[in-house]
Chains A and B, each alone.
Chain A
Amino acid sequence: MKITPHQRALGFALLSGLLGLHFVVRYLQHLPLGAPGSDIDQL
């Protein structure tokens, strides 16, 4: 089965999104919300 460019991009998106999720969970586990290094509170 040949992977189409769209399917490949979706795969990349899924992996990147999960990576993002991982970093958010790690952040929440290790730091209090809004600790230095986080800009989300500013936004």
Chain B
Amino acid sequence: MAREILNGQNPYETDRTLRLFPTSIYYPLTAGVVMLPLALLDLVPMRLAFVAGTAALFGYAIGRSRPYLWPTLIGMPFFIALGSAQWTPLLTTAILWPALGWVAVVKPNLGVAMLAGARTRRDALLLVSGGLGIIVVSLALNPGWPGDWLTALRDSVHFHPLIFRPGGFLVLLAALRWRDPDARLVLALGLVPVTGLMYDMLPACLACRTRAQAAVLALISYIPWAKITSASNLADQMWKNGETTLWFALLPAVGIVLLRSLPDVRFLAWLKHSGIKE
């Protein structure tokens, strides 16, 4: 996409068969604009720079801002994000460092979740204004891209909110703590359309406030590892993956957020003692 922008082409109109990954482009042009600095590289160095670079940035942000989240670095959402060269490590970094909030615009579904989870009005303003800046640049490069992008999305079969999966309604419990930015983040992660793969739930790790919580979240994410989800078509496969992601990545984060509402009674003392309840 970024290379096609550099060559003055419309990425949404390029012959799919010329692509190594011959599907429609589901990303907005803003993603290509942000990738422009890497467009000068070949595909392999580009992948290396993108994956290792965003992973290192995420690691730095965790180490600097929330070192107790280190178990996240060995959890499945992070591993799957690295394996499929996803944006979520960078987007999660942007939640920790609001000055990077403008990257939310590369993936508007998660961008909405990031906005919902903004801790301050200033953070939200940085995200929106920075994102608008990228949108203006992208429109200057290709004024018709929003229409092309929406057409591609309409043709897609695998973007559905996790809330529609069996048991997904439980995500709504997070709304009970709507004043808590972590609760708003996990709630929004359940409401926005996603592919269903676990990488999109990496931001949910930010709901953790102790090392024990982060460890529990990372451990639970391994439970479905042995179960290889296969289906005859992309839509079914992603739907099934979404069920796994809901139960083993998002709902545990919802649970962690809800634990904050529970009173410190003796019955729950072991949770407090183990650090699972802060």
Interface residues of A, count at CB 8 A: 33
Do B84 and A39 touch (CB < 8 A)? yes
| Measured CA separation A28–B12 after assembly (Å) | 26
B27 interface residue per 8 A CB criterion: yes
Minimum distance in angstroms from B45 CB to a CB of chain A: 10
Is the contact region of chain B dominated by helix, strand, or loop, or is it mixed? helix
Q: A24-B48, A39-B86 known; A11 and B63 CB under 8 Å?
A: yes
Within the complex, the shortest CB–CB distance from B54 to chain A, in Å, comes to: 7
Measured CA separation A26–B52 after assembly (Å): 13
Known: A33-B44, A41-B21. A20 touches B56 (CB 8 A): yes
Q: Does B192 contact A (CB under 8 A)?
A: no
Number of A-B contacts (CB under 8 A): 121
Contact A40 B50 (CB under 8 A): yes
A interface residues, Cβ below 8 angstroms from B: 5-6, 8-21, 23-24, 26-28, 32-43
Partner of A20, one of B21, B35, B52: B52
Report the Cα distance A5→B78, complex, angstroms: 22
Report whether A33 and B43 are in contact in the complex, using a CB–CB cutoff of 8 Å.
yes
Picked from A12, A21, A39, the residue with its CB within 8 Å of the CB of B85 is A39
